[in-house]
């Protein structure tokens, strides 16, 4: 740590998501920035409103900050992000937003006068320079790379692009900045699972993903010793028994897989893990290798059963390997989760039927079927804007109100809206009812996970939020049950058995 008096106080805020009780995950991005600033001698408070009951007033009273950061991942937390920003802006403090969605929509974010700047891309290096500028009383930040700033004419201008940071220079994540136990989740074969990251980015460029824009198709692994130290610390100090690798792509090849599996095994600790991979990288022996190193679940982004749609998504997976890969993975004792998108722009009924067919053939233990969502920054977003199919997002609130993530507000496909809802609900319902799931010979179920994590988020929220989120979760459950069961004719149309 740099030897200097701790003067500047940086408050980093993870806002609440409106409406829904959801899986609560530690804000790794904020934790990384906080740990970096601390290592440079700044005083940091990470205020995670998704798990903390403390009011913004009491947090400020205990920690009179000099600079405030607010994270924005999706439209779900826009209202809360705006409310906390207004509070600190009224105190005369600089407020800077960051995170994946803020990075993609700096102009829309800065329509709000309570936001002084947007930190675009990775935050660590930018925030070190920002904190130093604030400490020096310098409010001209135009020489700091990685920012969007409001000029005197009100026009939003981006400063120079911030280069990616060398992950090897980052300090260990200081988990003592958060209440670790609050982030434990139930997963397959574990009850105290945390999200950690082993790599950033992805070399592929699927049209629906923000990654190409945000990570510019790069892929960077974290130094292995830092990851291993972090796992050991969390197992030994907090009893963590599971890790979900939050990487967009967990390992690009067998060599990287062997290296991480050997290292995880060498820890000789009692925990299981899972991650997200692509079809076509690993085969039967690889899954066995992974199982022996503690892997108990894998999430495969398959996306569609239609070759044409996969081509349009630029997905680049080996179609002929999908079924075999899932079967090999399952045979190795690893729970398989396959994720699909329904309602891709221009998708036809017969293409959706191919997806349904594939899902039925695959026999994975879990299916994750999402409505197509246009992520700002993705290639498909840019294409749809340039073709005039959608207007560019200029107002964060409109999307926050419409909630396109949960409700099918926009349908750009040729599939009738009701069909999309029925298909999605049916596979959610099926995953919910599945009770044949075994991990290491012990029964496991998605329902158990949902209930346990739901109860946990109830404990961390206040009464008003508890009532609102229970109501919304109940409503979602009833809607899913309704669409899954009340439309036999739609199911027949897609050959759902
Ligand atoms: C864990 C995770 C979650 C967690 C919550 C994470 C959290 N509280 O931070 C849960 C499961 C709750 C979640 C939910 C959702 N998620 Co999510 N999630 C992830 C995941 C897998 C890992 C994020 C992570 O920890 N990365 C590791 C850290 C170190 O990197 P990082 O987050 O990018 O952080 C760096 C920079 O982004 C930046 N930064 C990040 N935050 C901030 C904040 C400030 C103030 C600043 C200055 C900088 C900054 O600096 C950080 C350090 O370098 C990512 C995919 C990925 N691998 O990144 C998706 C991802 C972030 N999620 C995504 C989405 C879409 C969602 C949902 C909308 C999904 C849904 N359908 O419901 C919801 C919305 C939740 C919300 N709060 O609004 C998208 C966001 C894309 C976008 N908006 O453009 C991603 C990128 C996945 C994807 N490829 O589509 N998610």
Q: Which run of H or of E encompasses 81?
A: helix 78-90
Work out the percent of the chain whose per-residue pLDDT is above 70. 90
384-388, 402-406, 448-452, range with the lowest pLDDT: 402-406
Angle at which helix 254-266 crosses helix 284-292, to 10 degrees, equals: 20
Q: What sign does the CA torsion over 98, 101, 107, 108 have?
A: negative
Quick: pLDDT tens for 4-49: 555 689 999 999 986 655 668 999 999 999 999 999 999 999 999 9
Per-residue pLDDT, 404: 58
pLDDT greater at residue 97 or residue 474: 97
Q: Give the C-alpha separation, 113 to 111, whole Å.
A: 6
**Residue whose CA is closest, atom 6 of ligand 1?**
27
pLDDT at residue 265 is higher than 70: yes
Q: Is 70 exceeded by the pLDDT of residue 436?
A: no
- The span from the CA of 129 to the CA of 141, in Å, is 9
Query: Is 327:368 a contact under the CB 8 Å cutoff?
Result: no
**pLDDT of the residue at 434:** 72
pLDDT at 251 exceeding the cut of 90: yes
**Least-confidence region, from 160-164, 246-250, 447-451:** 447-451
pLDDT at 263: 98
Q: Which domains does the chain have, with CATH numbers?
A: 9-158 (3.40.50.280), 184-493 (3.80.30.20)
Report pLDDT for 454: 66
Report yes or no on whether pTM surpasses 0.75.
Answer: yes
Residue 402 has what pLDDT? 64
Does the pLDDT of residue 372 top 80, yes or no? yes
- The alpha carbon of 100 and the centre of ligand 1 are apart by a number of angstroms equal to 6
Per-residue pLDDT tens digits for 57-69: 999 999 999 999 9
Per the prediction, the chain carries an average pLDDT of: 91
Residue nearest to atom 55 of ligand 1 (CA): 248
Please say if the pLDDT value at position 2 is more than 70: no
Mean pLDDT value of segment 191-196 = 96
d(CA 381, CA 57): 38
Rounded alpha-carbon distances, angstroms, from residue 328 to 187, 280, 297, 307, 471:
21, 12, 13, 22, 41
pLDDT of residue 313: 98
Residue 254, Cβ neighbours under 10 Å: how many?
A: 14
Residue whose CB lies within 8 A of the most ligand 1 atoms, among 74, 244, 376, 406, for a mutation test: 74
Secondary-structure percent of the chain, ordered helix, strand, coil, rounded to 5: 45, 15, 40
Residue nearest atom 19 of ligand 1, based on CA coordinates: 246
- The set of protein residues with a Cβ atom below 6 angstroms from ligand 1 is 12, 14, 17, 22-23, 25, 27-30, 32-33, 69-71, 73-74, 76-77, 98-101, 104, 119, 122-124, 127, 195, 197, 209-211, 246-248, 375, 377, 405
Which of the four pLDDT bands, split at 50, 70 and 90, describes residue 408? low
Q: What is the 3-state secondary structure of 13-36?
A: EECCCCCCCCCCCCCHHHHHHHHH
Ligand 1 centre and the CA of 493: distance in Å? 37
For residue 470, the model assigns a pLDDT of: 72
- Give 228-233's long-range contacts (Cβ < 8 A, gap of 24+): 228/263, 228/264, 228/266, 228/267, 229/172, 230/172, 230/173, 230/175, 230/196, 231/196, 231/264, 231/267, 231/269, 231/271, 232/267, 232/269, 233/172, 233/175
The residues near 146 (Cβ < 8 Å, ≥ 6 apart) are 119, 120, 121, 122, 125, 126, 159, 160, 161, 162
pLDDT tens digits, one per residue of 125-149:
999 999 999 999 999 999 999 999 9
What is the Å distance from ligand 1's center to 25 Cα? 10
């Amino acid at each position: 740590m740099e030897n200097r008096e701790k003067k500047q106080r940086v408050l980093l805020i993870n806002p609440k998501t409106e409406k829904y009780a959801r899986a609560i995950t530690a804000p790794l991005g904020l934790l990384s920035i906080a740990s970096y600033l601390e290592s440079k001698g700044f005083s940091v408070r990470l205020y995670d409103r998704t798990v903390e009951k403390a009011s913004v007033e009491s947090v400020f009273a205990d920690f009179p900050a000099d600079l405030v950061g607010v994270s924005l991942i999706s439209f779900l937390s826009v209202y809360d992000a705006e409310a906390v920003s207004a509070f600190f802006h009224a105190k005369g403090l600089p407020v800077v937003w960051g995170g994946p969605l803020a990075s993609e929509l700096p102009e829309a974010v800065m329509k709000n006068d309570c936001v002084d700047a947007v930190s675009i891309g990775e935050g660590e290096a930018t925030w070190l320079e920002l904190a130093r500028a604030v400490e020096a009383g310098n409010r001209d930040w135009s020489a700091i790379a990685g920012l969007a700033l409001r000029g005197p004419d009100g026009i939003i201008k981006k400063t120079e692009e911030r280069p990616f940071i060398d992950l090897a220079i980052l300090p260990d994540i200081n988990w003592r900045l958060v209440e670790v136990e609050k982030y434990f989740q139930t997963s397959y074969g574990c009850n105290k699972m945390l999200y950690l990251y082993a790599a950033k980015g992805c070399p592929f460029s699927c049209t629906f993903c923000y990654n190409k824009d945000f990570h510019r198709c790069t892929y960077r692994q974290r130094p292995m010793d830092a990851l291993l130290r972090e796992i050991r610390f969390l197992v030994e100090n907090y009893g963590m028994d599971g890790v979900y690798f939050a990487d967009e792509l967990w390992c690009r090849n067998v060599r990287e897989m062997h290296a991480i599996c050997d290292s995880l095994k060498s820890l000789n600790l009692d925990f299981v893990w899972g991650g997200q991979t692509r079809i076509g990288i690993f085969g039967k022996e690889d899954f066995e290798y992974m199982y022996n190193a503690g892997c108990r679940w894998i999430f495969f982004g398959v996306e569609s059963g239609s070759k044409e749609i996969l081509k349009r998504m630029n997905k680049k997976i080996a179609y002929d390997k999908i079924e075999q890969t899932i079967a090999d993975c399952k045979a190795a004792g690893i729970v398989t989760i396959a994720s699909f998108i329904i309602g891709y722009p221009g998708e036809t009924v017969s293409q959706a039927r191919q997806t349904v067919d594939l899902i039925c053939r695959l026999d994975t233990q879990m299916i994750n079927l999402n409505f197509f969502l246009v992520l700002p920054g993705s290639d498909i977003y840019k294409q749809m804007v340039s073709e005039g199919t959608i207007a560019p997002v200029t107002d964060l609130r409109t999307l926050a109100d419409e909630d396109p993530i949960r409700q099918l507000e926009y349908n750009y496909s040729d599939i009738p809206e009701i069909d999309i809802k029925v298909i999605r609900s049916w596979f959610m319902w099926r995953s919910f009812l599945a009770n044949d799931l075994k991990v290491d010979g012990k029964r496991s179920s998605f329902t158990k996970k949902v209930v346990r994590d739901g109860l946990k988020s109830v404990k961390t929220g206040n009464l008003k939020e508890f009532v609102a989120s229970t109501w919304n979760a109940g409503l979602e459950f009833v809607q899913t049950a309704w669409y899954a069961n009340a439309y036999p004719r739609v199911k027949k149309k897609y050959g759902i058995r």
